[in-house]
Structure 1
């Protein structure tokens, strides 16, 4: 069997995996192997920001998973796009740069995870960041991840901000700073009019390093174990089975679905459930695949005139898009630099709520079923998402075939509190769009509902709500006393030496915001931990 050997083997070239591969290989005496199930990130649809609209509803560079039928969604299967290429989901997402709320990280620390409070993690957000506009105590320059405002700014964004202000949402240009509450223009992970994925920021500039090996199209099939220690990874390259050994550690960065799947395929998980699938249980960790949390989301859409600065299917819209493609090719400016979601807000559902529990993403186009249902004409849409859901789901094995998609069950609305909060969020969102600033462009709703008819809105939510693309928490971080914890505060898998997990699956609870920036932060923090441990080992010999 073909076998290689490195100091570190990392599974998954997503947001955390790219950071770890780059940072660990900064030391020329350390060797790193990065395994990615997808291919290289060469598609122009990845690098042109507006290309996300074509990737997300398709299987291009996208796992395009589905959930099991959701009782809370009238038995519908939800859609779960995840990146399948270098950069992972940071290569197909909407690029918005959001860290979450201070409260989220202080809560992580309070749950028994020392070193994960907001003050602890802020330096790692800043280490990653090169912010082109914001220069204050919460931001930094010089990091690999470029953060800026989109080069395109639709006039409809100003209408959104004005309408938000009329509904008690003040302008807050730095929602990642002193406070989160308010409305704003989103900052994005872009550079020079192109997407700045984790691959582009961290990995691509370092591919020439002799101590870094990146293997694409490598589907990891199991963790190699010697007793209670991880020693490497077995993976499939085409029809060939190969192995790569890790002298120091194996790190799983395969995401909220991929990391628990690989742990279970390797016999690490709930012993009885594994044995029922014919997998010998090597380590009984009941929390693996449990605790799945995701932002449930509801989209409302209004028609707009064809001459509004929106994406749409019309003669005028096609001509505008064609011109924009040439502008982007020549100048890296114009509509193709748009991430569609140019403005947004964090809001509190009621006066007694002190930490924003709802998020808005304003989209300059028609959004229906993750852009899988296309409509003639133009429109504007808005997502409202529940920030800290109470519902908990699972990610279990469909079979022992590593190429088979896992069984994803978010159990949306399993807790009625999530449904009631989203219903209230839908009402607050609709009130904003029925405000005076939109009077000149707002036409009929794509799915009409009266703001006072809560029963009709409830039906619409059940019929159309779905993920905001932030699955997490399936390998939660926590002390050994927590029966559901999979990794400790240093991201070491409980009961297995030489094995860590670093991606959104280790979140103890879902943060109030998008998950890409926090996942990059996790990669930065773990790389520093590993450097410190290496120094400690060398000085104690």
Structure 2
């Protein structure tokens, strides 16, 4: 195993990488290597939808990153879980299937990325989707990724939706249809009560192909360059350093944190950053690790007047046993759908062209996401600003492969970000005061009714805000000379090296990022296969 050779080497078996492995290995004449730093997805909690509470802090399945302490969040360091197993973050996320707003992708195209507008990317969303409601002009039913309804209504979710309607927000039963705006139940990436990660959807059907090698627990150290061409990668497996040569293309799909890390360890990036870390610069790309964006969630927690929350289920051994048995016997109930079943997309103030706030409505409450639930009946209305202005960075600290990079999200760095985050709290309170919700609200547990002024609200936002797990943008796509990749996803100035993951997003999509990551994998495969066909034709 000292040295191997492939047509395609894919680094990272996450939401984009699993798609690429499936599509590229469909050609039996092409040999494909898929490297994943984590283990196989054998842990049973991965496949139980509510199980991400168990994987949130699992150091085997999760990179468990932490941001640097930052002034914008009152000097706090925030925990950033990222998937480290087959399926990547699609194996540990909240399962919510949201594409974003049509204008998000039209904005990408307008920023110098032809081929990435809404009409361009919609076919890729449709191609991967197995929509339980059937196919239409917005949805596909023949794809690998299961997209399912929650299946059962919930008293609290119904009250939230009704309350939001009473507060003036429209009902929306399809956030991925003609218009995203409104409130309703989410659709989830589940099938028959089990998680449908990209490993389940795309990798399992392809794993039996003899031309696809899937190597887990393989940590990519660097990209090998032969002049200006990517010639392969070096990775470690069971303590052995292995060289994999590439006669085609190396595809980085390691995500918004690890993709820039691998580039910088390879000497690709900002020369000043590299030299500070003790890395000899090989190829100057100053924006590697820049342009980091994330959704900061602000949670408003309510004590409920009735014992009908997931808190009550989990705090009672009788009820816990009942829901466990129901899941085992029927694949139904709370374990089959996850925590955030309802939500919505609303405008923080009149006059905006489109929604700028997302709601996640959870039928439980805890001090931090993923921690033990409160002992009282509680539920959470979480909001995030969809398109933050703040930009951060991700950079290596040294040449040590096992050392985590420094993550600076730079949350709440602009007045607009602060204002929208505070407006999210106010909107949650407005919905809680509606006739539909008021009978279920005993009191506001957090931030508490005593917090009212702008100064108090902003301090709460800075003290309590946390990631909702959507980092993107650190290898920005664009047609300008400073972009890291061009619109065909090629790394600028190099041959045989592309990036296909959320790091290429110029701007954050308006919603959860998993569906867009899958779309990027689909489009990347088409770009590669089309160029391959052109080469054969010539």
TM-score interval (norm. to shorter): over 0.9
TM superposition shift of 1:192: 0.8
Does 240-249 or 491-500 show the bigger shift? 240-249
Corresponding residue for 2:341? 342
When the two structures are superposed, what TM-score results if normalisation uses the length of structure 1? 0.97
Corresponding residue for 2:6? 6
Does 18-27 or 131-140 show the bigger shift? 131-140
| Residues 314 and 376, structure 1, Cα contact 8 Å, conserved in 2 | no
TM superposition shift of 1:424: 1.0
- CA deviations on 1:128-187 (whole Å, 9 max, x unpaired) are 101001542111101000101124432211101100101111101111111111001000
After superposition, residues 476-495 of structure 1 pair within 5 angstroms as 476-481=476-481, 483=482, 485-495=483-493
- CA deviations on 1:357-406 (whole Å, 9 max, x unpaired) are 11000001003222336421221101100111111000010221111111
Q: What runs of 5+ residues in structure 1 fail to find an aligned partner?
A: none
Corresponding residue for 1:359? 358
Corresponding residue for 2:521? 523
| Residues 8 and 33, structure 2, Cα contact 8 Å, conserved in 1 | yes
TM superposition shift of 1:354: 1.1
- CA deviations on 1:3-28 (whole Å, 9 max, x unpaired) are 11110000000000000000101111
Corresponding residue for 2:260? 260
- Match of 2:18, SS state, is helix
| Residues 313 and 378, structure 1, Cα contact 8 Å, conserved in 2 | no
| Residues 99 and 176, structure 1, Cα contact 8 Å, conserved in 2 | yes
Distance in 1 between residues matched to 2:8 and 2:61, nearest whole Å: 26
Does 448-457 or 62-71 show the bigger shift? 448-457
Corresponding residue for 1:77? 77
After superposition, residues 192-203 of structure 1 pair within 5 angstroms as 192-203=192-203
- Match of 2:114, SS state, is coil
After superposition, residues 364-375 of structure 1 pair within 5 angstroms as 364-372=363-371, 374-375=373-374
Distance in 2 between residues matched to 1:314 and 1:49, nearest whole Å: 15
Q: What runs of 5+ residues in structure 2 fail to find an aligned partner?
A: none
Distance in 1 between residues matched to 2:302 and 2:406, nearest whole Å: 35
Distance in 2 between residues matched to 1:70 and 1:378, nearest whole Å: 33
Structure 1's 507 and 3: CA in aligned 2 closer, same or farther, altered over 3 A?
same
| Residues 311 and 373, structure 2, Cα contact 8 Å, conserved in 1 | no
Corresponding residue for 1:414? 413
Does 444-453 or 270-279 show the bigger shift? 444-453
Structure 1's 450 and 173: CA in aligned 2 closer, same or farther, altered over 3 A?
farther
Corresponding residue for 2:507? 509
Corresponding residue for 2:174? 174
Corresponding residue for 2:104? 104
| Residues 183 and 346, structure 1, Cα contact 8 Å, conserved in 2 | yes
- CA deviations on 1:398-456 (whole Å, 9 max, x unpaired) are 22111111101001012222011100111011211222212232122222135743332
TM superposition shift of 1:60: 4.5
| Residues 218 and 235, structure 1, Cα contact 8 Å, conserved in 2 | yes
When the two structures are superposed, what TM-score results if normalisation uses the length of structure 2? 0.97
- CA deviations on 1:71-109 (whole Å, 9 max, x unpaired) are 111100011110010000000000000000011000000
TM superposition shift of 1:331: 1.8
> Root-mean-square deviation (CA), in Å?
1.4
- CA deviations on 1:220-242 (whole Å, 9 max, x unpaired) are 00001101100111011132111
Distance in 2 between residues matched to 1:449 and 1:390, nearest whole Å: 29
Corresponding residue for 1:300? 300
Q: How many residues align?
A: 537
- Match of 1:115, SS state, is coil
Corresponding residue for 2:24? 24
